[in-house]
Amino acid sequence: MEDQLLWIHGQYKHPEKGSFFETNNPATGEVICRVAEAGQSDVDIAVASARRGQAVWSAMSGAERGRVLVRTAQLLREHCEELARLESVDGGKPIAETPEADVGSAADCLEFFGGQAASLHGEYQTVPGGFFYTRPEPVGICAGIGAWNYPIQIAAWKSAPALAAGNAMIFKPAELTPLTALKLAELYKQAGLPDGVFNVIQGMADTGKMLTTHPGIAKVSLTGEVGTGKAVMRAAADSLKSVTLELGGKSPLIVFDDADLDNAVGAAMLGNFYTQGQICTNSTRVFVHDTIRAAFIEKLVARARKLKVGDPLDPGTDVGPMVSADHMRGVLGYIEKGKQEGGKLLLGGERAKVPGFEQGNFIEPTIFDGLSDDMTIVREEIFGPVLSLLGFTSEEEVVERANRTEFGLAGGVFTRDIQRAHRVAAQLEAGIVWINHYNLTPVEMPFGGFKQSGIGKENSRRAFEHYTRLKTVYVAEGDVDAPY
């Protein structure tokens, strides 16, 4: 593939300093292409372009803006096959997932916010001496900084509400998966987005810092690790930028003794092996009631054993490679730690061998039992296909243990007892709770974590709160009664 450049003001642009980095195919280890690395002057140019673009964009009506977003969604669907393939090649995600979970999810989001764009409105109220009204205004130029696990989806989840509300966005993809955000930018342009409203700059953490510290940027939305979230918030504090942070997790899935076992097993698998386990909301701590543990484990291991690890471009593949060799080593390190600390391996636990893909970063779907809450793999986010099984005897006990973590992103409850389901959902310290399912994220539903898993919500109309500033206008109906 030819060198990929920066996307600024509706066109590709060479980096001022001429620096490039490489992006690899995680299934083969081969270099896909070189990608331009933005420096400070590129970021400054992107901000100046965004300022001009935003002036044009925010002057358009909500309905006009919405039409552009909906057209972009249509184009995403028309180009689904090629985009899904690019996402699978760049990030190693199985082609069985990317058309729907990545490209489809991005299109859904653009459609949703396209439909909402005309509906942003303020309020009106009479008060003594007159009335006031409020105006939700765009904040200006927003920075979106993405993680590597859902590249085009994250680019859409951040840009769609930002743009619908009349902002411009400068998006920095993760260095490991820089390709599809550029395609989204091309499609935005094709759909009629004015130049400068969506710019893509590329690079590493340093480029991210140029965004979080830039005086011309009003807001930062990051998807990434907790440590990065804290660094971004600290950097943003100097210029008091508002932040939305979608960070990591160590989420519990609680399976009570009256649960539908097959559904619960399916959810535990989705919550640990989909996208090779590289999902922030994953249910990496699966608590199963002691009386059904044996039956649950038997079904889980039997089904997980059938997962096919292999070429992401093979439609029959369930589990692709880890996104990078470094990340694979990190996940394998956690697996070793689990063994050393006394965990009992029920499945997997090794680097997977895939014929023809000897350089690929594959790891076997792994299931640990015999764990306790204080073990490293039960406490820390692994971000790989590693499921930790834990037992429990009472509702009170499991809720307390489920909440005993600094994270608070998500959680799941499996039970047929509706009162217990809602009681437990209410007690879980998590931003998202699924009852009798796991990891579904329709765009209509607010998405975001509690505690150290983040700040703010993405998706749903709630997202507008983070991409608008509310102006209050007081209107006097009488004379000014000055006491002097």
Looking up tokens 């092996």, which residue turns up?
273
Cα–Cα distances (Å) from 131 to 214, 239, 366, 476, in that order, read 38, 33, 62, 7
Q: Is 402 in the site for ligand NDP (CB under 6 A)?
A: no
- Residue 142 and residue 47: Cα distance in Å, rounded? 10
Q: Is 408 in the site for ligand NDP (CB under 6 A)?
A: no
Least separation in angstroms between CB 213 and ligand NDP: 9
Least separation in angstroms between CB 174 and ligand NDP: 4
- Residue 85 and residue 26: Cα distance in Å, rounded? 13
Q: Is 44 in the site for ligand NDP (CB under 6 A)?
A: no
Q: Is 462 in the site for ligand NDP (CB under 6 A)?
A: no
**DSSP one-letter code for 357:** -
Structure tokens at 107: 């299109």
Catalytically active residues are 158, 246, 280, 458
Q: Is 463 in the site for ligand NDP (CB under 6 A)?
A: no
- Residue 362 and residue 325: Cα distance in Å, rounded? 9
Q: Is 97 in the site for ligand NDP (CB under 6 A)?
A: no
Answer for which of 66, 449, 465, 466 binds ligand NDP (CB under 6 A) is 449
| Cβ proximity to ligand NDP, 171 vs 357, nearer residue | 171
* Number of other CB atoms surrounding residue 450 within 10 Å: 18
Q: Is 325 in the site for ligand NDP (CB under 6 A)?
A: no
Report the residue number whose CB is nearest to ligand NDP: 208
Contacts for 14-18 with beta carbons within 8 Å, 24 or more apart?
Answer: 15/39, 15/42, 16/41, 16/42, 16/45, 17/41
- Considering only CA atoms, give the Rg of the chain: 24
Q: Is 151 in the site for ligand NDP (CB under 6 A)?
A: no
Answer for which of 34, 85, 209, 308 binds ligand NDP (CB under 6 A) is 209
| Cβ proximity to ligand NDP, 233 vs 313, nearer residue | 233
Looking up tokens 């003594």, which residue turns up?
128
- Residue 197 and residue 194: Cα distance in Å, rounded? 6
Q: Is 149 in the site for ligand NDP (CB under 6 A)?
A: yes
3-state secondary structure of 175: coil
Least separation in angstroms between CB 310 and ligand NDP: 23
| Cβ proximity to ligand NDP, 7 vs 57, nearer residue | 7
Nearest to 447 by CA among 435, 463, 427: 463
Q: Is 464 in the site for ligand NDP (CB under 6 A)?
A: no
Residues 236-255 interacting with ligand NDP (rule: CB under 6 A) = 246-249
Least separation in angstroms between CB 431 and ligand NDP: 9
- Residue 362 and residue 360: Cα distance in Å, rounded? 6
Least separation in angstroms between CB 189 and ligand NDP: 23
Q: Is 175 in the site for ligand NDP (CB under 6 A)?
A: yes
Q: Is 231 in the site for ligand NDP (CB under 6 A)?
A: yes
| Cβ proximity to ligand NDP, 222 vs 269, nearer residue | 222
Answer for which of 36, 174, 217, 433 binds ligand NDP (CB under 6 A) is 174
Answer for which of 94, 144, 196, 208 binds ligand NDP (CB under 6 A) is 208
Q: Is 433 in the site for ligand NDP (CB under 6 A)?
A: no
Q: Is 87 in the site for ligand NDP (CB under 6 A)?
A: no
- Residue 242 and residue 139: Cα distance in Å, rounded? 10
Q: Is 364 in the site for ligand NDP (CB under 6 A)?
A: no
Least separation in angstroms between CB 481 and ligand NDP: 52
Contacts for 11-14 with beta carbons within 8 Å, 24 or more apart?
Answer: 11/195, 13/42, 13/45
158 and 144 Cβ atoms separated by less than 8 Å? yes
Nearest to 165 by CA among 218, 213, 202: 218
Answer for which of 148, 368, 450, 467 binds ligand NDP (CB under 6 A) is 148
Q: Is 25 in the site for ligand NDP (CB under 6 A)?
A: no
Q: Is 212 in the site for ligand NDP (CB under 6 A)?
A: yes
Answer for which of 86, 103, 107, 145 binds ligand NDP (CB under 6 A) is 145
| Class of residue 484 by CB neighbours under 10 A (exposed 0-12, middle 13-18, buried 19+) | exposed
Q: Is 146 in the site for ligand NDP (CB under 6 A)?
A: yes
Q: Give DSSP secondary structure letters for 199-259.
A: EE---SHHHHHHHHT-TT--EEEEES-HHHHHHHHHHHHTTT-EEEEE-----EEEE-TTS
Q: Is 228 in the site for ligand NDP (CB under 6 A)?
A: yes
Binding site for ligand NDP (CB under 6 A): 145-149, 172, 174-176, 204-205, 208-209, 212, 222-225, 228, 231-232, 246-249, 280, 381, 383, 409, 449, 454
